[in-house]
Amino acid sequence: MMRFNRITAMLIALLIIVSAAFSAVSAAGAPTESDGVRISEKMQAKSYMAATGTELNYRIYFSPGYDRRDYEKPATLIIYFHNESGKGNDNTTHLAERGLLNQLVSDSADGMFADYQYIVVAPQCPEGKDFTDREIISAVGELREELFATETLISKCIVMGVGTGVNGAVEFGSRYTDHVSRLVAVGGSPDKKVAFGVLTTGVTMMYFAEASNTYAKDFYDYAEDLGEGGYLDMTFTEGNLSASINAALTQSDPSVTEWAVKDAYESRYFKINVHCTDGAGMISASPDSVRYGGNCSVIITVNKGYVVDRLVVNGNDKPLSELEQSANNKNQYILNLMGVTDEQSVVAELVRVPTSGEKEGFIDNLITYLTVASAVLLAAALAVSALSALKKKKD
């Protein structure tokens, strides 16, 4: 009996250890929302005055690993749009909502994403306003622009919306399509065409909505019918908004917060800006927007009688030997940009080259000019000599 008890005790202890290990793994999969109880302490209270005169209160959080001097790891910016209950002018009420904002600034998130640089911004919608109002959404857009100019080196951000905040997140995504790469929606009733328009720009969306939400179902069907379902990860829940929030908080592989925070610099696309001398030829980039680390071909086609005289890439002169002549068109040249990691600028300066007839005419004109010039100089010399002889004779 004693032996049985010992074996039983060992099995129970083993089960406890295994259970604890699985719990630890599970806990590591997503930050714990309850760890964010100090959210008002961890998020700095600030105010932004937009160009229109609209004052926007907001909270901002910098991850422990954030370092604006670390150019190798540019930060991810996450903008969080709260639900109706968060409206106010105290810069505090919107922090009381339970949800993903708590996870993003939680102590467990600090540990899990210690190697990542990210910034969380939570604007507060004023009383009597909506995030979809032009002056409010524009103020958020201006704030994003200022943060990119002063804090980060990236051109994209993540937007999150809960409840009515989903409408604001979708509206922001539709107005600032060049700056948004991912969107998280929890509940809400966005206009399906506006939301679909966001998808068509290449934004990927994670959406949690109640099965009874006809707006969300219409949007899902609309995206599927028009072939954009690949950018949409839709989860329908049974119950009210709280059920959708629970689904978002317990989402794993990856968790919603991990999906947002780890939207690394490598997912960005960079614009290829090209220009050549007006009227001398054409220049184009293929593709004209390149994903981080991708390649691009800049094609320069010169008009007859013109050549490439100078090539400037990102403000620096490049040797013309880097141009490859097209096998199919002797007037077309290709510059290959490899491993693009930032926005590019390519300027080709073209100059006109005289034709053979123009060259012959130029030479004839030059000979005539030199002959005339020589005759004039000879006449001048003879005149000077004659004057000198006349002067000597008088003397």
What are the pLDDT digits (tens) for 23-68? 333 334 688 888 878 899 999 999 999 998 999 999 999 998 888 7
- Name which residue leads in pLDDT, 360 or 339: 339
pLDDT of residue 93: 95
Q: What share of the chain is helix, strand, coil (3-state, %, to 5)?
A: 40, 30, 30
- Measured CA to CA, the distance from residue 175 to residue 53 in angstroms comes to 20
- pLDDT surpasses 50 at 21: no
pLDDT band at 4, cuts 50/70/90?
A: very low
> What is the CATH number that goes with domain 269-352?
2.60.40.10
Please tell me the predicted confidence (pLDDT) of residue 186. Answer: 97
- Contact criterion met (CB below 8 Å) for 140 and 55: no
pLDDT tens-digit map of 134-151: 999 999 999 998 988 877
Q: What mean pLDDT value characterizes the chain?
A: 84
* pLDDT band, residue 340 (cuts 50/70/90): confident
Kindly report the backbone phi and psi dihedral angles of residue 111, in degrees, each rounded to the nearest multiple of 5, phi listed first.
Answer: -75, -40
Q: In CATH, what class is 27-267? A: alpha beta
pLDDT band at 261 (very low <50, low <70, confident <90, very high): confident
pLDDT of residue 368: 66
The pLDDT tens digits for 263-299 are 655 556 678 999 999 999 999 999 888 877 789 999 9
3-state SS, residue 259: helix
Which residue has 């809400």 as its token pair? 188
Q: Which residues, 6+ apart, have CB-to-CB distance to 91 below 8 Å?
A: 45, 47, 57, 58, 59, 124
What local confidence, expressed as pLDDT, does residue 360 receive? 55
pLDDT at 229: 57
Highest mean pLDDT pick, 75-89, 145-159, 365-379 = 75-89
Q: Rounded to two decimals, what is the model's pTM?
A: 0.64
Which residue, among 82, 182, 68, has the nearest Cα to 131 in the 3D structure?
Answer: 82
Residues with Cβ < 8 Å from 170, sequence gap 6 or more?
161, 183, 185, 188, 190, 191, 194, 195, 198
Q: How many CB atoms lie within 10 A of CB 46?
A: 14
The pLDDT of residue 294 is 82
Candidate from 173-187, 201-215, 252-266, 329-343 with smallest mean pLDDT: 252-266
Distance of CA 296 to the CA centre of its chain: 18
The per-residue pLDDT for 2 is 39
- Quick: pLDDT tens for 150-184: 775 665 789 999 999 999 999 999 998 888 889 99
Query: What's the mean pLDDT in 302-307?
Result: 94
For the chain, the domains span 27-267, 269-352
If you average pLDDT over residues 184-206, what whole number do you get? Answer: 89
